[in-house]
């Protein structure tokens, strides 16, 4: 049994996703959440945890952040069957409106193929962008918590808290 029930795995090039990861850990409780930075640790470290949160920023016009890109093949080495996974993304809806949070969409699609149980979908109200690969087919929900610290930093704290409460309820923690 792992020390905490939740692994929070993330990649972060300029620390926005890392700061979000720390806020989520603090809000859910450090006794419940272990942080795993993909710059230092393999993705397979998530395997023993019953619940997984993944943080992924989008870079370079709809591309994966570099640590996620490097670790991507490791997603095939983890057994995600039936495992509750929740995603959060950092992006810039003003600077990159045609690719807003695309990487979160790629990660979601990969996890579904790998048998994970996606949780923590998030309403798309309150954002302005042109296209995103991180939206459900009806366009109503993001595949995870959508954050834009570049343009909506003042909204992030409340969004994080609401999403964490949603996870507590979805996961019955
Ligand atoms: C060169 C560059 C390219 C970016 N491309 C995208 C993009 O395609 N889509 C998006 O939503 N955000 C994009 N962003 C915004 C980043 O996702 C945002 O700055 C994020 O907070 C970075 O997170 P990190 O510091 O955890 O790496 C880009 C930012 C930079 C500087």
Confidence at residue 3, expressed as pLDDT on a 0 to 100 scale: 73
Q: Within the chain, what is the greatest distance between any pair of CA atoms?
A: 44
Which residues are registered as beta bridge partners of 71? Answer: none
Confidence at residue 89, expressed as pLDDT on a 0 to 100 scale: 98
Q: Which regions of the chain are under pLDDT 70?
A: 1-2
Confidence at residue 2, expressed as pLDDT on a 0 to 100 scale: 57
CA of 58 to the centre of ligand 1 (A): 5
Which domains are present in the chain? 6-171 (3.40.50.360)
Is 17 near ligand 1, meaning CB less than 6 Å away? yes
C-alpha gyration radius of the chain: 15
Other Cβ atoms closer than 10 A to 155: 14
CA of 23 to the centre of ligand 1 (A): 19
């Amino acid at each position: 049994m792992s020390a905490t029930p939740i692994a929070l795995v993330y990649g972060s090039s300029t620390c926005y996703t890392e700061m979000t990861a720390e806020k989520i850990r603090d809000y859910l409780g450090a006794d419940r959440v272990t942080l795993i930075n993909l710059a230092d640790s393999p993705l397979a470290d998530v395997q023993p945890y019953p619940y997984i949160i993944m943080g992924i920023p989008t870079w370079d016009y709809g591309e994966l952040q570099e640590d996620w890109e490097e670790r991507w093949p490791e997603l095939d080495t983890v057994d995600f069957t039936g495992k509750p996974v929740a995603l959060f993304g950092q992006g810039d809806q003003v600077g990159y409106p045609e690719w807003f949070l695309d990487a979160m969409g790629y990660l979601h699609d990969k996890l579904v193929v790998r048998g994970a149980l996606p949780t923590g979908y998030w309403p798309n109200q309150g954002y302005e962008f042109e296209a995103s690969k991180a939206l459900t087919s009806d366009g109503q929900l993001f595949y995870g918590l959508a954050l834009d610290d570049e343009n909506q930093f003042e909204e992030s704290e409340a969004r994080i808290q609401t999403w964490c409460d949603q996870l507590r309820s979805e996961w019955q923690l």
